[in-house]
Chain A
Amino acid sequence: MTAAGISALLPLLVLSGGIVVLLMVVAWLRSGAVAFVGALVVLGATIVVTPLALGTGTQDIDGLLEIDGYALFFHGLFAFAAVATAVLSYRYLKPRAAHAQEFYILLLVATLGAAVTAATDHFAGFLLGIEVLSISLYAMIAYPQEGRGPLEAAAKYLVLSGAGTSTMLFGMALIYLVTGTLEFAPAGELSRNEQLLLAVGQAMLLIGVFFKLSLVPFHMWTPDVYQGAPAPVTGFVATVSKAAVFAVLMRYALAVGVVDAEVLRNVIVVVAVLSMVAGNLLALLQVNIKRLLAYSSIAHMGYLLIAVVVAATPQVRSFGVETALVYLAGYVLMTLAAFGVVTVLSDADEDAEDLTAYDGLFWRRPVLAAVLAAAALSLAGIPLTVGFIAKFYLVAAGVDGAAWILVWALIVGSAIGIYYYLRIVFAMTKRPEAGTQAPPVAWEGVISVVVLGASIVVLGVFPAPVIDFVRALGGP
């Protein structure tokens, strides 16, 4: 491996080295605070070295990893999301888990898994990354000691995510059978039978990915897991694990040309449309904010598939990738902000998941309410928020790539979506009953959601720096 290769690997090296060091430290110092600070230091260092790695250009690491601007974008994004998750979890976990050292290490491992997933063009790396991510997540979801919600959610996630992975693995095996390589590469000349086999393999791979992205009709587990998992972990699952899987899907689709195959393209379009429509329609029925956000994330993943479909057209390829990156950046910010507010408002006994818990929040806690309103309006795609820029990108990409069915589904989906996002905002504007006292909340949690909320608005008004940055990265 060259020196350039090593410097390209810096974020991953810092992250994995940090995990090892932290493991040893907490073996001596059984303290949640030390693990928390240690995790922040490791993640901070990861964020710092990511720009250094950017200077090296695309580096292929033994065929297993492909460190390019695209991968490093996700490394930075995941580390950022992990910082927010760690900060939000600290006070949240105190009453729920007596010793929370391992939680932060699991968080780092999950981040590492996600980072590997986003940086691989090889099935081995793909599987490795995704499993490291998922297995850490099972433990993180089940972390609180009390209550059956987390345990139930973890079991459900374990079973269904495992089913997804095995489907994917079978798909990979079939693809390997035909192409003879584990790398993401287009197949050469194939006979009729081989073509069929490849299509089946790719379809199985896609089904596994759809499971992980919780796209309709493979979404059944999502609301239950989102509801049962501890709120900060739900935020992490909804952002980092989704973005990682999406990153590798995009890479695979572009490298292999999955979307070029008429059948598979149609499958993706149908799944996208179903997710947008069903996700939004089912969200309408929810009275639990975690379930509502679960259905909304299903719809958002459906929107994102537009970028994958569009990027298959050669002249729109780079625009499609750009769209996906801008959208994911915005999506991560607004989803983290929404779950962050849920976390901060949760008390020692239960999560603030009932929509009625938000009645009159504007008058009780104007700052948190403003952040949640910004997040909800951003998810709905209203201007002045980054969600609008993201949605604008998707519509533009859809129009440019002439994906009219998807664009119309996006419009219909957004129209339905506005209704339930506004319901959150409306609940917060209600007059509170006299004498309701606002319980104290964690100040560090408030700061982190305010930072998230502010970045939603700032990037919504001045998106040019992010756009220029993303364009400079280049595609996978």
Chain B
Amino acid sequence: MILAVVLLLLAAGVLAWASERFVGANAPRVVSVLAFAVGLAWAISEWLGGPAATGLYAAQHIEWIPRFGISVALSMDGLSLLMVALTMFLGIIAVVSSWDEIETGHGFFQFNILWVMAGVVGVFTAMDLFLFFFFWEVMLIPMYFLIAIWGHENKGYASMKFFLFTQISGLLMLLAILALVFVHFRSSGEITFSYEKLLGADVDPAIAMWLMLGFFAAFATKLPSVPVHTWLPDAHTQAPTAGSVILAGILLKTGAYGLIRIAVPLFPQASMDFSFWAMLLGVVSILYGGFMAFSQSDFKRLVAYSSIAHMGFILIGVYAFNEVGLQGAIVTMVAHGFSTAALFMMAGALQHRLHTREMSRMGGLWVHAPRMGVMTLFFVVASVGMPGLGNFVGEFLALLGAFGKNVPLAVAATVGIVVAAVYGLYLMQRSFQGTPNPDVAAMPDFGARDMSVMILMAGALVWVGVYPQPVLELAGATIATLGVLP
């Protein structure tokens, strides 16, 4: 079934492209929303149906390249299910949020969105390292096109930077994968890329550290963590709204997912030895991202830097090596997906209306658009970590986990929450409050479509914030099977 869903998204992409010519400019958007809706319905039905005795909601195994023991092995456990559902949900949101933004090439635009998401679903479910890498790269090209074609003034630079960073770190991962496969081949005589089989590979500790770093480089770049974060502010700022929503909501999460699913379980000891440095990088990301966010004058760039800070919490949560920390990382992945995606949509809506992202050219917008003001306030507050909303749960748990592992680092990370409050409120103050900017005479407010999307996202955040138990259970089931906790 999982492969069918991936193929559905790929086929819908082709259909959307073709439908523009044969049906009309609206058809691609409709095809896209329908495809994501089917995917979301499937994910929810699998969830409600409960896992099989193996703990998996769905699984598939088809031989692909027997020469190298490569197969199309896909399976979906709690964590995968959570991420797939988030992917489908944000897919709908991304399409709806950019309904009016794109003026040319609707068909190819939706094609790219659907193909990115197909790659993402593959990454979240692949149980074969070759397949994982394959999907990892499949996400890349369509995202490149989204930025390069429909981006803003400096799109060429931003898209190239995005591609180079991801591709080079990806090559390091490929090298690590192959080295792992051949190490396993030498000791077992079996050449295979199967994740389950490679979990049991007997790797010399010194080599394991290098291989782990290869994976870590790829995932930390995607996450992103300082010092390989520099592609993100550019890519986000230049991307069209739907691109930013997908990038922040989903693509960054593949980095986090990779750490949780691949890097740590494959090399538990090496990861444990490396955990101090990883947590340190996380803390630096939190503080650096926060300070950089505060010093931005561009609405979108500010949100982009805040993303780097939030991703730092995931890093410290994962490398805390305890259940609470991992739970926190996973909840943050979900909550950040909603809150940051919403803020990027807001940035896109403002740019569409004012033709600028500069906050100095905003101010007092609440007067013109109270509904946009309310929603911005809500998501800023969520992003800042207000109790009762999803981000709080995630960051709190991540910090709690980190506290059990390394107290000074946890304390330093907590400072990040204060910094977040500063830049969050600063963002609100500069754009929607303060003296109304005389240059902005009037600005249309959100209509029913935008509001319903925003309310959906807000509802999801409240749900994760007030009743995180379903998410924790899904995540917990996976954490128990990863076998990384001491």
User: Which of B171, B172, B178 lies in contact with A396, CB distance below 8 A?
Assistant: B178
- A377: B residues at CB distance < 8 A: 141
Contact status A383-B148, CB under 8 Å: no
Within 8 Å by CB of A415, from B68, B137, B148, B167, lies: B167
Give Cα A425 to B137, complex, Å.
16
Would you list which residues of chain A between 374 and 401 have a CB under 8 Å from chain B?
377, 382-384, 388, 392, 395-396, 399-400
| A422 vs chain B, min Cβ distance (A) | 6
Q: Are A464 and B66 in contact (CB under 8 A)?
A: yes
Task: Please name all residues of chain B whose beta carbon is closer than 8 Å to the beta carbon of A411 when the two chains form the complex.
Answer: 168, 171-172, 175
What B residues does A418 contact at CB under 8 A?
163-164, 167-168
Contact of B178 among A395, A415, A425 (CB under 8 A): A395
* A467 touching B160 in the complex, CB below 8 Å, given contacts A407-B175, A429-B148: no
Give the residue name and chain of the A residue nearest to B178 (CB). A399
**Contact present for A426 and B159 (CB under 8 Å):** yes
Q: Which of A399-447 contact B (CB under 8 A)?
A: 399-400, 407, 411, 414-415, 418-419, 422, 425-426, 429, 431
From A382, A399, A463, A468, B179 is in contact (CB under 8 Å) with A399
A269 to B65, CA, bound (A): 30
Q: How far is the CA of A453 from the CA of B64 in the complex (A)?
A: 22
Cβ B164 vs Cβ A419 within 8 A: yes
Query: Are the CB atoms of A426 and B65 closer together than 8 Å?
Result: no
- Report how far A122 CA is from B391 CA in the complex, Å: 72
CB atoms of A426 and B137 under 8 A apart: no
Please state if A467 and B174 are interface contacts (CB–CB under 8 Å).
no
Does B403 have its Cβ within 8 Å of any Cβ on chain A?
Answer: no
Q: What's the nearest-Cβ distance from chain B to residue A117, in Å?
A: 28
Asked whether A471 is an interface residue with its Cβ less than 8 Å from the other chain, the reply is: yes
**Closest CB-CB distance, B330 to chain A, in whole Å?**
27
Nearest chain A CB to B394 CB, angstrom units: 32
Mask of B211-222 contacts with A, CB within 8 angstroms, 1/0 = 000000000000
Bound-state Cα–Cα, A228 to B178, Å = 41
Residues on A with beta carbons closer than 8 Å to the beta carbon of B65: 463-464, 467
Interface membership of chain A positions 177-195, coded 1 if the CB is closer than 8 angstroms to chain B and 0 otherwise: 0000000000000000000
Q: Report Cα–Cα, A426/B146, bound state, in Å.
A: 11
- CB <8 Å contact, B160 and A429: no
Evaluate whether A467 and B164 lie within 8 angstroms (CB atoms) in the complex, with A382-B140, A383-B134 already known: no
Q: Does B145 belong to the interface (CB within 8 Å)?
A: yes
- Determine if A414 and B171 form an interchain contact, defined as CB atoms under 8 angstroms apart: yes
Chain A residues with CB under 8 A of B172 = 411
- Chain B residue at minimal CB-CB distance from A380: B167
Q: Is B175's CB under 8 angstroms from A422's CB? A: no
B residues near A419, Cβ cutoff 8 Å = 160, 164
Main SS of the interface on chain B?
helix
A429 touches B149 (CB 8 A): yes
Tell me if B47 counts as interface (CB < 8 A to partner A): no
Is there a chain A Cβ closer than 8 Å to B388's Cβ?
Answer: no
Of all chain B residues, the one with the shortest Cβ separation from A363 is: B105
Kindly list chain B residues whose C-beta atoms are within 8 Å of the C-beta of A382.
137, 140-141, 167
Contact of B67 among A383, A414, A464 (CB under 8 A): A464
Asked if A422 and B182 make an inter-chain contact with CB atoms under 8 angstroms apart, the answer reads: no
Would B64 and A464 count as touching, CB distance under 8 A? yes
> Cβ of B137: which chain A residues have Cβ within 8 Å of it?
382-384, 388
B138 in the interface, Cβ–Cβ < 8 Å?
yes
Assess A415 versus B141: contact at CB under 8 Å? Given A392-B174, A400-B182, A426-B156: no
Contact with A along B139-170 (1 / 0, CB 8 A): 01100110011000000100110011001100
Check if B378 is an interface residue, CB within 8 A of chain A.
Answer: no
What is the CB-to-nearest-CB distance from A440 to chain B, in angstroms, rounded to a whole number? 20
Known: A399-B175, A415-B167. A429 touches B145 (CB 8 A): yes
CA distance A418 to B166 in the complex (A): 11
Residue pair A467, B67 in contact (C-beta under 8 Å): yes
Residues of B within 8 A of A399 (CB): 175, 178-179, 182
> What is the CB-to-nearest-CB distance from B152 to chain A, in angstroms, rounded to a whole number?
14
**Considering only CB atoms, which chain A residue lies closest to B163 in the complex?**
A422
A422 adjacent to B160 (CB under 8 Å): yes
Closest to A389 in B: B65
Hey, which chain A residues are within 8 Å of B138, CB to CB?
A: 383-384
Task: State whether B164 touches A415 (Cβ < 8 A).
Answer: yes
Is the pair A426, B148 in contact by a Cβ cutoff of 8 Å? yes
Question: What separation, in Å, do the CA atoms of A443 and B104 have in the docked complex?
Answer: 28
Q: Is B276 an interface residue (CB 8 A)?
A: no
Q: How far is the CA of A221 from the CA of B327 in the complex (A)?
A: 61
The answer to whether B42 has its CB under 8 Å from any CB of chain A is no
Q: Is B133 interfacial (CB-CB < 8 Å)?
A: yes
CB-based nearest B residue for A471: B67
A395–B175 CB distance below 8 A:
yes
A414: chain B residues at CB < 8 Å are 171
In angstroms, how far is the closest chain B Cβ from the Cβ of A294?
Answer: 23
A422 to B164, CA, bound (A): 10
**Chain A contacts for B66, CB-based, 8 A:** 464
Contact A426–B160 (Cβ < 8 Å): yes
Which of chain B's residues has its CB closest to A398's CB?
A: B178
- Residue of A whose beta carbon sits closest to that of B66: A464
Residue of B nearest to A384 (CB): B138
Q: Mark B65-87, 1 if CB is under 8 A from A, else 0.
A: 11110000000000000000000
Nearest-neighbor residue (CB-CB) of A392 within chain B: B174
Using A418-B164, A426-B148, A429-B148 as known contacts, say yes or no to A468 and B67 having CB atoms under 8 A apart: yes
Instruction: Give the residues in chain A near B148, CB-CB below 8 Å.
Output: 425-426, 429
Residue picked from A383, A407, A414, most chain B C-beta under 10 Å: A383
* B376 shortest CB reach to chain A, Å: 32
Q: Are A415 and B171 closer than 8 Å at their CB atoms?
A: yes
Name the residue in A377, A418, A422 with the highest tally of chain B Cβ atoms < 10 Å from its Cβ.
A422
Complex Cα spacing A426 to B158, Å: 12
Bound form: Cα–Cα A471–B65 in Å: 13
Bound-state Cα–Cα, A411 to B168, Å? 8
Which B residues touch A463, using CB under 8 A? Answer: 65
Closest to B160 in A: A422
* Distance of A384 Cα from B168 Cα, bound (Å): 18
**Cβ–Cβ < 8 Å partners of A395 in chain B:** 174-175, 178
Contacts of A400 in B (CB 8 A): 182
Chain A's closest residue to B185 (CB) is: A400
B395 to chain A, nearest CB (A): 35
CB pair B64–A415 under 8 Å, yes or no, is no
Nearest Cβ on chain B to A402's Cβ, whole angstroms: 9
Residues in B neighbouring A429, C-beta threshold 8 A: 145, 148-149
Residues of B within 8 A of A464 (CB): 64-67
Report Cα–Cα, A383/B65, bound state, in Å: 14
A377 (CB) vs chain B CBs: closest residue: B141
Please give, as numbers and ranges, the residues of chain B lying within 8 Å of A384 by CB-CB distance. Answer: 134, 137-138, 141
In the complex, residue of chain B having the shortest beta-carbon distance to the beta carbon of A397? B178
Q: How far is the CB of B6 from chain A (nearest CB, A)?
A: 12
Q: How far is the CB of B285 from chain A (nearest CB, A)?
A: 24
Q: How far is the CA of A265 from the CA of B64 in the complex (A)?
A: 36
CB distance from B214 to the nearest CB of A (A): 11
Residues of chain A within 8 A of B67, CB atoms compared: 464, 467-468, 471
Hey, which chain B residues are within 8 Å of A362, CB to CB? 108
* 14 A–B contacts, CB within 8 A, in A order: A382-B137, A382-B140, A382-B141, A383-B134, A392-B130, A395-B174, A395-B175, A411-B175, A418-B168, A422-B160, A422-B163, A425-B148, A429-B148, A464-B64
The 9 A-B residue pairs whose C-beta atoms are closest, nearest first, are A383-B137, A415-B168, A399-B178, A467-B67, A429-B149, A383-B134, A411-B171, A464-B65, A399-B182
Besides A395-B175, A418-B168, 7 other CB < 8 A contacts? Answer: A382-B137, A395-B174, A396-B182, A415-B168, A426-B156, A426-B160, A471-B67
Residues in B lying within 8 Å of A, measured CB to CB: 64-68, 104-105, 108, 130, 133-134, 137-138, 140-141, 144-145, 148-149, 156, 159-160, 163-164, 167-168, 171-172, 174-175, 178-179, 181-182
